[in-house]
Amino acid sequence: MRPTDFSKRLTDFLTGYLPGERGASKNTIASYRDTFILLLTFLKESKGISAERLTLCQITKEIVVEFLGWLEKERHCSAATRNVRLAALHSFFKYLQYQTPESLAEWQRILSIPVKRTEKPAMNYLSVEGMRLLLEGPDQSTRNGRRDLALLSLMYDSGARVQEIIDLTPSMVRLDPPCTVKLIGKGNKARIVPLLEQQVEFLKIYMTENKLLVPFANMYPLFCNSRKGKLTRAGVNYILTKYANRAREKEPSLIPEKFSCHGMRHSKAMHLLQSGVNLVYIRDILGHSSVQVTEIYARTDSHQKREAIEKAYSDVSPKEAPPWLTNDNLLSWLKSFNQ
């Protein structure tokens, strides 16, 4: 069977356009691929259209809208997940505008499908005391405990995304002063983040113990599981959740009920902000594309808002209490009023 125009365009989009022209990361390409797997599943189950026979002319705005509804109703996806899938489809049909302009009108109809509004959840982050309690959790007398402490300390100290931690190799860490770590973020953008020497001590112990400082280990995963394989997102989240639960048992008020790996990143950003670090530097440490993204931390930090209000405060309240507040006999005061 000959390949269809859909299969040709999708293959070029995933293997050529995204990595070659857009410079998309492996994670972005994998997310887009998963979107099309779901679309093909929907078309097979709901429309009886097999992947082998699917052509571009069969994909319309109405089909895409049905697919998005199927994600929410049948697969119980959240509105945020639905928006992620729509973003992948939008990217594909923007690409098709230039590849198959004869169907431009239909592609623009699909591009007109709006994202759904979603409620932004409250940002979860730990106080300095909460972070200290969390990092006291790993048992440093065990091999796994030393690995977990090095992992969590580095995740907090660098403000790294979970995938950035997973992708680290020993060659990306500098343990001699000035200590730094090289992180590869979204869009394969690299950044150098300084590390505190106190936190690096945990990393040195871990790397020495696991023979990660020798030259032949340069490209090994920095953090691995019991099978010497790279940790997964689920694996890192499992480690964090374990110690967050332990810390919550000791001090429930310091650890939120829901605390994810991204909460470590939020915590670092908030602690930097509260220490007076400029938003521009926080942007560079976190690898944000714009300082406007970083401003979310300034909007969230009620402590700094309160301090700013107190600095600008002018006392305009009355210096003396009204007479009726100091007069026990309200009736007599009223009778004598304005006489």
- What are the residue numbers of the active site? 161, 186, 262, 265, 288, 297
Please report how the helices 302-311 and 261-274 are oriented relative to each other, as an axis angle in degrees rounded to 10: 20
Burial of 217 (0-12, 13-18, 19+ CB in 10 A): middle
Grouping H, G, I as helix, E, B as strand and the rest as coil, residue 324 is helix
DSSP string computed for 257-280: SS--HHHHHHHHHHHHHHTT--HH
Sheet strand arrangement including 180-184: 173-174, 180-184, 190-194
User: What residues does 230 pair with on adjacent strands?
Assistant: 224
DSSP string computed for 50-102: -GGG--GGG--HHHHHHHHHHHHHTS---HHHHHHHHHHHHHHHHHHHHH-GG
Distance CA 322, CA 52 (A): 85
Distance CA 212, CA 206 (A): 8
